[in-house]
Structure 1
């Protein structure tokens, strides 16, 4: 409560300053909008400078950090102030640090900052994983239509480049974007086999290697491979049905994995934030030993469940 009182007083003083401080000289009209714009540009310059630090470079070198930076840089605020991916990631880091400091001050506990920081990292990682699964499902669902579109386009006498451009133009979703990028690579003079290999890496779904091999063979021999592509479309549809059935059959096991992994972590984090007695006990050697033993048992349970699921998934 003391922390909330300090923050409230600081916010009141800041708003009072905005109201009471007069504007500049003649012709200078002060307004909250102009003040916000100037403050935004200064913050943007600071974030661009902080974007060149070693911490940001290390984080943006990872897949999760790179995707998070690209997503943050595509927001309207980042575009309006001209902040790139590095500056956007730096802004997210600063925002996370402010959130951790706020909870640490609000709860008056030194353990609140690391707990909230770990929670924010976990949210970002789980969100990125969920986004990857969603994109993979969309690509898997679009593959039968892509196979049929390629069969029709190449069966009508179009070249590989024309068929790929047709797919990238007429299909929708992440898969069509990968074909559009392949078409752009072919226009820019990239070799066919290299462009097809890049396509298979970007799709990253079962059957992508088969599609890449079929496209290379079609380019080398001139054969449209219509029957092969139509059969691949049917197999992709059956694979999608099998994956949906497998997802239904293993729903209970996956729920057990989530409960085993998340419930102890959530309980420890909540008690660390809310219970002073738990905080004092956690800082003792016995408390640290109990937490380590709990983490070891949790990891052992997760390893057992993964071993049981290995023959199914």
Structure 2
């Protein structure tokens, strides 16, 4: 009898505790909702810096920067890119001053040169990165178009299917093509317009296949399926080549960095170590070093850039 009473009382107390716990959580959620409405007024507020950045992104000066960032597949807005450059510039100045004992104005000049070289290198390495990703998606695009045509869809309907199935950047390009076709632009004109934006051998082959099949007719499914397999094999071969030449490519990046790092470290250990570098003979040797380093980097990149 006592055990049953204790069990009933424990269950009753547990139910009451749960009730009060849920009531407290509900009040907490309502309090947070009122605070958000009070301070944010239902919208996310932006700081003055963000608003200035948004205004800069809409200017004519920001358009070429945005274009370069898109071509290099860098997910920054122009204002974020400029802000990153400023922060990086100040960071390099602080590092040169504190760790390598390079004072004003040499640290400002050297930081600008290093930042400009790093910027050029980043854009050089990521140039056509979006095109490469698009080419990597071509096998999937061919298979999607082939499956669409086999199921009875027209080529235009299959292109809309590609828009739904593939990811960026191919999704954006084919969505633009689908919109152009919906506006009444000829299929050949829309496809050649895309070819000018992509500008690669693989896509030119893809374009020629579609145009020939559209004019001459034939089994489009079989042609697209075979092309997808061929492009997939090319993709695997290119990945194998990149794996085999990875060591040489990383050597091309490391070799120019090592002597610069050693010179800066020696300047930190020995006062005035860089002073002879800014004399007449030192400037000539510095220019010869830069020329040799750049040529070495270009030659190694040329050797390891094997085209299939």
1:208 positional shift: 0.5
Deviation of 1:167 after TM superposition, in Å, equals 0.6
Go from structure 1 to structure 2 and tell me whether the alpha carbon gap of 1:193 and 1:88 turns closer, same or farther (over 3 Å shift): same
Q: Distance in 2 between matches of 1:245 and 1:46?
A: 43
Structure 1 residue 285: deviation in Å? 1.6
- 2:48 corresponds in structure 1 to 41
Q: What is the distance in 2 between the residues matched to 1:39 and 1:167?
A: 37
- Aligned mates of 2:271, 2:66 — CA distance in 1: 37
Structure 1, 98-107 or 179-188: larger mean CA deviation: 98-107
CA distance in 2: counterparts of 1:108 and 1:39, whole angstroms: 38
Corresponding position of 1:149: 144
Q: Which runs of 5+ in 1 are unaligned?
A: 1-32, 74-84
Q: Check conservation: 1:139, 1:205, Cα contact below 8 A.
A: no
Q: With the length of structure 1 as denominator, give the TM-score of the two structures.
A: 0.65
Does 1:64 find its partner at 2:68? yes
Aligned residues: 263
Structure 1 residue 182, shift from structure 2 partner: 1.4
Q: How does 1:101-140 map to 2 (within 5 A)?
A: 108-129=103-124, 131-132=126-127, 135-136=130-131, 138-140=133-135
Name which of structure 1's ranges 226-235 and 216-225 shifts more when overlaid on structure 2: 216-225
Q: Tell me, what secondary structure is at the counterpart of 2:171?
A: helix
CA distance in 2: counterparts of 1:248 and 1:201, whole angstroms:
30
1:233 aligns with 2:237: no
Distance 2:73 2:245 in 1: 34
1: distance between equivalents of 2:264 and 2:207?
A: 47
Show CA shifts across 1:187-240 (max 9, x none): 233332221123234444442011111222343345451221111111111101
Alignment RMSD:
4.1
Q: Which residue number in structure 2 is paired with residue 164 of structure 1?
A: 159
Change (3 A) 1:209 1:265: farther
TM-score when scaled to structure 2? 0.66
For 2:143 and 2:73, the matched residues in 1 are separated by 36
- Measure how far apart 1:171 and its partner are: 1.8
**Structure 2 CA distance for partners of 1:240 and 1:289, relative to 1, 3 Å:** same
Q: Hey, what's the Cα distance between the residues in 2 that align with 1:273 and 1:38?
A: 46
Q: 1:166 to 1:295 in 2, by over 3 A?
A: same
Greater CA radius of gyration, 1 or 2?
2
Residues 1:226 and 1:251: Cα distance change in structure 2 (over 3 Å): same
Greater CA drift, 111-120 or 261-270:
261-270
C-alpha displacement at 1:91, in angstroms? 4.3
